[in-house]
């Protein structure tokens, strides 16, 4: 049967914001800016300033500068700000007077709005100079890349950042056979070594702690093969012997980047945790074996996200949650700060608090404890052991069901009646 839609009169342009605001209010369940600030949520300059453009897509939003982003993050209750060097300083101005002026203006804006700069990162992927990656054959390009990393570390110390992130972009090749992979890995390590050494020196001079240097993998690009495609590949790289300061270097996994290659994100994070290398975490959502769609957290895989956060809570992860997503191009400039960021933050907080409920839920804890207790049978007979444990193992599925109930609120007696 076709349902008839009530006809809605056209919404004139000057009434649209009010409508969006009213419906956002009607959603309810929003946290206050003060509550939001209690979480280590970090807002990237580039996420808020993303104009909606892509290979086949023109921008749908006007550019926004750091003053506006920092002010709006303050209004929302996002207490930390992150940036690429070139998000705020044009490439040509890097290392020059323009850089010092911009860094001073950023400091002022952060102070005015009570935000902290938590992380800095170097853009080594967008500019044409990095067409052959930051670990290019050309020694002068590699020298330039090193300088860029060192310069970002200096900006980070100036702004008080505790983390530096490295997403190497197209570190790899567009056509096979043209690059020698082991050489490229060595050259990439040289860049990171330079950044760590610059950090050690600056930290000493400024009496600050050295930063945590966090590698971020992305498995594929529209073109090109990547030579460090996953967080696991990066873990191997960290302990390869190529890094001079492997203790300073860890990971910034991105939820979607692990999902993109078809991994269990939670298992990928568990491997990073087991190595003591989960330093930083980019949060977003998307689909397995597809593009880097960078959808906001919880809009595609809320159940998986809940499970991810249970793991992180269990292990006392205290690092940042970086809102590295892209507001869709259907969202306006106004919508970026009135809908996109506040709702992303609120979904994260809800899932985080829910994860706490999972960890203390009576059914989940009793079932998990029973599974760990086993049947208490001492035997080396496989069949006997299986028989002794087989009813217990049904609890796996029951735990999964219980987590679903927690996600949809059924554990609090929420029921759906059927007619
Ligand atoms: C992506 C990447 C970037 C990095 C950023 C920080 O999705 O393209 O995740 O957003 O996180 O470049 O280095
Ligand atoms: Mn990222
Ligand atoms: Mn991404």
pLDDT in tens, 9-63: 999 999 999 999 999 999 999 999 999 999 999 999 999 999 999 989 999 999 9
Q: Does the pLDDT value for residue 316 go beyond 70?
A: yes
Share of residues in the chain with pLDDT > 90 (%): 95
Asked if 216 and 162 count as a contact pair (C-beta separation under 8 A), the reply is no
Q: pLDDT per residue over 190-220, tens digit each?
A: 999 999 999 999 999 999 999 999 999 999 9
State the CB neighbour count (10 A cutoff) for residue 224.
15
- Ligand 1 pocket check for 349: Cβ under 6 Å: no
d(CA 263, CA 217): 13
Distance from Cα 254 to the centre of ligand 3, integer Å: 7
Q: Which long-range contacts (CB under 8 A, 24 or more apart) does 219-226 make?
A: 219/257, 219/260, 219/261, 220/260, 220/261, 221/169, 221/170, 222/55, 222/291, 223/170, 223/174, 224/170, 224/172, 224/173, 224/174, 225/172, 225/173, 225/174, 225/176, 226/170, 226/171, 226/172
- Ligand 1 pocket check for 282: Cβ under 6 Å: yes
- Ligand 1 pocket check for 235: Cβ under 6 Å: no
Measured by CA distance, the residue closest to atom 3 of ligand 1 is 167
Q: Does the pLDDT value for residue 1 go beyond 70?
A: no
d(CA 303, CA 311): 13
Asked if 128 and 152 count as a contact pair (C-beta separation under 8 A), the reply is no
Q: Does the pLDDT value for residue 329 go beyond 70?
A: yes
Per the prediction, the chain carries an average pLDDT of 97
Distance from Cα 219 to the centre of ligand 1, integer Å: 12
d(CA 17, CA 143): 49
Which ligand number lies closest to the CA of residue 169?
1
Mean pLDDT computed over 346-356? 98
Helix axes 265-274, 231-238, angle to 10 degrees: 10
The secondary structure of residue 54, as a DSSP letter, is: B
The pLDDT confidence band at residue 83, using thresholds 50, 70 and 90, is very high
Distance from Cα 167 to the centre of ligand 1, integer Å: 6
Q: pLDDT per residue over 358-372, tens digit each?
A: 999 999 999 999 999
Q: Does the pLDDT value for residue 168 go beyond 70?
A: yes
Q: Does the pLDDT value for residue 227 go beyond 70?
A: yes
DSSP for 250-266 reads EE--BHHHHHHTT--HH
Measured by CA distance, the residue closest to atom 13 of ligand 1 is 167
Mean pLDDT computed over 269-280? 98
The Cβ-side half-sphere exposure at 76, using a 13 Å CA radius, reads 28
Measured by CA distance, the residue closest to atom 8 of ligand 1 is 292
Mean pLDDT computed over 105-129? 98
Cβ neighbours for 118, distance < 8 A, ≥ 6 positions apart: 40, 42, 80, 81, 82, 161, 162, 163, 320
List, in order of start, the domains of the chain with CATH numbers.
35-360 (3.20.20.150), 362-412 (no CATH)
d(CA 333, CA 187): 40
Among 323, 395, 304, 313, which Cα is nearest to 355's?
A: 313
- Ligand 1 pocket check for 292: Cβ under 6 Å: yes
- Ligand 1 pocket check for 294: Cβ under 6 Å: yes
- 383 CB-contact burial (10 Å; exposed 0-12 / middle 13-18 / buried 19+): exposed
Asked if 203 and 154 count as a contact pair (C-beta separation under 8 A), the reply is no
Atom of ligand 1 nearest to the CA of 252: 11
Phi, psi of 139 (to 5 degrees): -60, -30
Q: Does the pLDDT value for residue 3 go beyond 70?
A: no
d(CA 402, CA 254): 27
Mean pLDDT computed over 292-304? 98
- Ligand 1 pocket check for 217: Cβ under 6 Å: no
Residues with CB under 5 A from ligand 2 (ion): 254, 282, 324
- Using CA atoms, how far residue 19 sits from 24, 33, 103, 165, 333, in Å, is 8, 22, 38, 39, 15
Q: Does the pLDDT value for residue 222 go beyond 90?
A: no
Q: Which long-range contacts (CB under 8 A, 24 or more apart) does 103-109 make?
A: 103/155, 103/158, 103/159, 105/66, 105/67, 106/66, 106/70, 106/159, 107/158, 107/159, 109/66, 109/67, 109/70, 109/71
Which ligand number lies closest to the CA of residue 257?
3
Which ligand number lies closest to the CA of residue 259?
3
Share of residues in the chain with pLDDT > 70 (%): 99
Atom of ligand 1 nearest to the CA of 46: 10
Distance from Cα 369 to the centre of ligand 3, integer Å: 37
Strand partners, 117: 81
Q: Give me the pLDDT at residue 2, please.
A: 63
């Amino acid at each position: 049967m076709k349902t008839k839609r009530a006809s809605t009169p056209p919404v004139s342009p000057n009434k649209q914001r009010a409508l969006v605001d009213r419906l956002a209010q009607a959603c309810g369940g929003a946290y206050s800016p003060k509550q939001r600030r209690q979480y280590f949520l970090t807002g990237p300059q580039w996420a808020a300033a993303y104009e909606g453009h892509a290979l086949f897509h023109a921008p749908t939003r006007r550019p926004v500068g750091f003053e506006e982003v920092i002010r709006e993050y303050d209004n929302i209750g996002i207490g930390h700000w992150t940036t690429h060097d070139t998000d705020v300083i044009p490439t040509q101005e890097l290392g020059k007077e323009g850089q010092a002026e911009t860094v001073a203006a950023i400091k002022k804006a952060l102070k005015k709005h009570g935000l902290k700069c938590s992380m800095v990162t170097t853009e080594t992927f967008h500019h044409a100079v990095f067409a052959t990656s930051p670990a290019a054959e050309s020694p002068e390009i590699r020298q330039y890349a090193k300088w860029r990393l060192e310069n970002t570390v200096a900006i980070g110390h100036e702004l008080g950042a505790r983390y530096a992130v490295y997403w190497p972009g197209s570190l790899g090749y567009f056509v096979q056979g043209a690059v020698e992979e082991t050489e490229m890995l060595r050259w990439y390590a040289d860049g990171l070594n330079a950044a760590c050494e610059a950090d050690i020196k600056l930290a000493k001079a400024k009496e600050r702690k050295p930063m945590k240097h966090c590698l971020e993998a992305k498995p594929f690009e529209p073109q090109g093969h990547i030579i460090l495609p996953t967080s696991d590949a990066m873990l191997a790289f960290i302990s390869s012997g190529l890094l001079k300061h492997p203790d300073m270097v860890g990971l910034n996994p991105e939820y979607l980047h692990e999902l993109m290659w078809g991994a269990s994100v939670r298992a990928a994070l568990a491997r990073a945790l087991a190595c003591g290398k989960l330093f930083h975490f980019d949060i977003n959502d998307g689909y397995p074996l597809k593009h880097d769609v960078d959808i906001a957290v919880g809009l595609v895989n809320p159940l998986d996200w809940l499970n991810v956060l249970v793991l992180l809570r269990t292990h006392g992860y205290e690092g940042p949650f970086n809102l590295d997503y892209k507001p869709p191009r259907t969202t306006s400039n106004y919508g970026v700060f009135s809908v996109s960021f506040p709702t992303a933050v609120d979904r994260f907080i809800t899932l985080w608090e829910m994860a706490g409920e999972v960890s203390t839920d009576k059914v989940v804890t009793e079932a998990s404890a029973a599974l760990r207790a086993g049947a208490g049978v001492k035997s080396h007979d496989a069949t006997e052991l299986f028989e002794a444990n087989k009813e217990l193992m049904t609890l796996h599925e029951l735990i999964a069901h219980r987590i679903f109930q927690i996600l949809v609120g059924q554990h609090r007696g929420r029921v759906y009646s059927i007619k």
